[in-house]
């Protein structure tokens, strides 16, 4: 944990969750019908400097844009550059999966179950094209009860965290980055969601895992319903750089699954997690902006589900528009409160009170309770 001060932590931008105008044009060019897609591409193209830089969220979508524009037969000088991005993504993804497969194999040999999340299973199961979705690391989950054994196993295989993973890391975080000697990264998850560091939430996902092979190594992945659920929840977090790839991932999963998609599984799982309102917001956007095939009854069911206080607090901060934005410190404080309420769900008041100092020290990067009280007083 870094030595960031209380003021620095609380003053960080909360960010936004929805795509901006340029990002929406790129998404329309990828997923709209041919006529509107072509129009969106040409509008986007007018504002693009062929030799300039792309913002990162747009850059990550360029391989998909290349494949769509290529399929539509549009002839444009930018296609050469898009092709280069696509080919680079194809090569990098193959390289990443090859480099990280031994880590999965080591865990399998030790009898530790693994579950691939986000990029890798999306590429292997849904996109079915290694160039379609660039990724910087491999997201790999293990059951929380096995995390210490998994860390030991991965350390023997050459995968180490930047700093020792502490008891507070395991209590208040859901994942940590491990680096290998090959300079590749594995994001090791002991919980499936940042918002739910608990076994009950993890079981919702693990119980629906399906077998998957990655570079001839056996592992598992989520089915389409919980892949979509996990992606929407991950995507709808306030971020200074909105992770809009969740939209492309969601549309790809839905288009591939078609009528076989089990909407009941998605809605019941979202409700059990207490995150139905967030999922409702994400699916409403997909239906309205990209004509995603989402039944209205599904949206009605999600909207009618109970919304716990932590979820309401988080959504209220995420959806504030810039003109009405609260001071950063207040927004961050509300999000910290929501997170603490999640962490202490099911705890007695006494247990929650005892946990609060450790939680604040950890989240604010402070070394001691004395430092915490001093910072709060001065702040």
pLDDT-wise least confident of 110-119, 294-303, 316-325: 316-325
Least Cα distance to 224 among 196, 276, 259 occurs for 259
The CA-atom distances, in angstroms, between 89 and each of 125, 135, 204 are 17, 8, 32
Which pLDDT belongs to residue 8? 46
Does the pLDDT at position 323 exceed 60? no
Least Cα distance to 212 among 150, 120, 98 occurs for 120
Average pLDDT over residues 148-157: 96
Contacts of 209 (CB under 8 A, 6+ apart): 115, 220, 221, 222
Which pLDDT belongs to residue 1? 36
28-69 pLDDT, tens digit per residue, is: 999 999 999 999 999 999 988 777 788 888 999 999 999 999
75-122 pLDDT, tens digit per residue, is: 899 999 999 999 999 999 999 999 999 999 999 999 999 999 999 999
What percent of the chain clears pLDDT 90, i.e. is strictly above it? Answer: 61
**Do the beta carbons of residue 206 and residue 226 sit within 8 Å?**
no
Q: What is the DSSP string of 12-77?
A: S---B-S--HHHHHHHHHHHS-HHHHHHHHHHHHHT--TTSPPPHHHHTTHHHHHHHHHHHT---T
Write down the mean pLDDT value for the chain: 87
Which pLDDT belongs to residue 54? 84
Does the pLDDT at position 14 exceed 60? no
Does the pLDDT at position 264 exceed 50? yes
Q: What is the DSSP string of 329-367?
A: HHHHHHHHHHHHHHHTTT--HHHHHHHHHHHHHHHHT-S
Alpha carbon 66 to chain centroid, angstroms: 24
Which pLDDT belongs to residue 344? 85
Angle between helices 296-304 and 276-290 (to 10 degrees): 150
pTM, two decimal places: 0.88
Average pLDDT over residues 202-209: 96
**Do the beta carbons of residue 189 and residue 220 sit within 8 Å?**
no
> Which pair of structure tokens corresponds to residue 16?
């936004």
Does the pLDDT at position 9 exceed 90? no
Bigger pLDDT: 13 vs 135? 135
Residue reference for tokens 């399998």: 108
Does the pLDDT at position 6 exceed 60? no
Q: What is the DSSP string of 173-196?
A: -SEEEEE-TTS-EEEEESSSBTTB
Length of the chain: 379
Average pLDDT over residues 292-314: 93
**Bridge pairing between strands 138-141 and 185-189:** parallel
Bigger pLDDT: 240 vs 209? 209
Residue reference for tokens 């072509």: 38
Most confident of 104-113, 162-171, 355-364: 104-113
Residues 207-243 as b/e (b if ≥16 CB within 10 A, e otherwise) read ebbeebebbebebbbbbbbbbbbbbbbbbbbbbeebb
Number of helices (H), then strands (E), belonging to the chain: the values are 19, 7
Does the pLDDT at position 327 exceed 70? no
Average pLDDT over residues 185-205: 93
Which pLDDT belongs to residue 125? 95
Q: Is the dihedral of CA 289, 294, 299, 300 positive or negative?
A: positive
Does the pLDDT at position 197 exceed 90? no
Which pLDDT belongs to residue 2? 40
**Do the beta carbons of residue 366 and residue 11 sit within 8 Å?**
no
Which pLDDT belongs to residue 7? 45
């Amino acid at each position: 944990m870094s030595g960031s001060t209380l003021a620095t932590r609380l003053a960080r931008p909360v960010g936004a969750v929805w795509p901006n105008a340029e990002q929406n044009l790129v998404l329309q060019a990828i997923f709209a019908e041919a006529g509107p897609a072509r129009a969106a591409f040409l509008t986007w193209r007018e504002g693009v400097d062929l030799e300039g830089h792309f913002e990162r969220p747009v850059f990550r979508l360029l391989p998909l844009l290349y494949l769509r524009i290529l399929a539509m037969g549009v002839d444009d000088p930018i296609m050469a550059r898009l092709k280069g991005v696509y080919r680079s993504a194809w090569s990098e993804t193959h390289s990443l999966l090859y480099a990280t497969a031994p880590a999965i194999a080591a865990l399998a040999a030790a009898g530790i179950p693994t579950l691939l999340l986000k990029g890798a299973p999306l590429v292997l199961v849904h996109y079915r094209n290694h160039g379609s979705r660039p990724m910087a690391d491999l997201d790999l989950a293990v059951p929380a009860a096995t995390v210490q054994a998994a860390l030991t196993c991965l350390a023997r295989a050459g995968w180490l965290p930047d700093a020792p993973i502490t008891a507070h890391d395991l209590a208040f975080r859901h994942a940590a980055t491990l680096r290998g000697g090959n300079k590749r990264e594995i994001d090791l998850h002991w919980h499936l969601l940042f918002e739910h560091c608990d076994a009950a939430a993890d079981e919702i996902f693990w119980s629906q895992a399906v077998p998957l092979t990655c570079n001839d190594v056996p592992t598992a992945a989520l089915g389409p319903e919980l892949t979509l659920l996990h992606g929407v929840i991950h995507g709808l977090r306030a971020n200074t750089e909105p992770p809009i790839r969740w939209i492309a991932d969601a549309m790809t999963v839905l288009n591939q699954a078609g009528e076989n998609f089990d909407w009941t599984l998605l809605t019941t799982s979202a409700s059990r997690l207490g995150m139905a309102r967030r999922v409702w917001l994400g699916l409403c956007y997909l239906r309205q902006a990209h004509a995603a095939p989402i039944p209205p009854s599904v949206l009605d069911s999600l909207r009618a589900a109970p919304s716990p206080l932590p979820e309401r607090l988080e959504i209220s901060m995420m959806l504030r528009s810039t003109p009405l934005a609260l001071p950063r410190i207040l927004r961050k404080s509300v999000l910290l409160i929501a997170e603490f309420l999640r962490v202490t769900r099911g705890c007695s008041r006494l247990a929650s009170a005892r946990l609060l100092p450790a939680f604040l020290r950890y989240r604010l990067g402070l070394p001691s309770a004395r430092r915490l009280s001093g910072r709060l007083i001065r702040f």
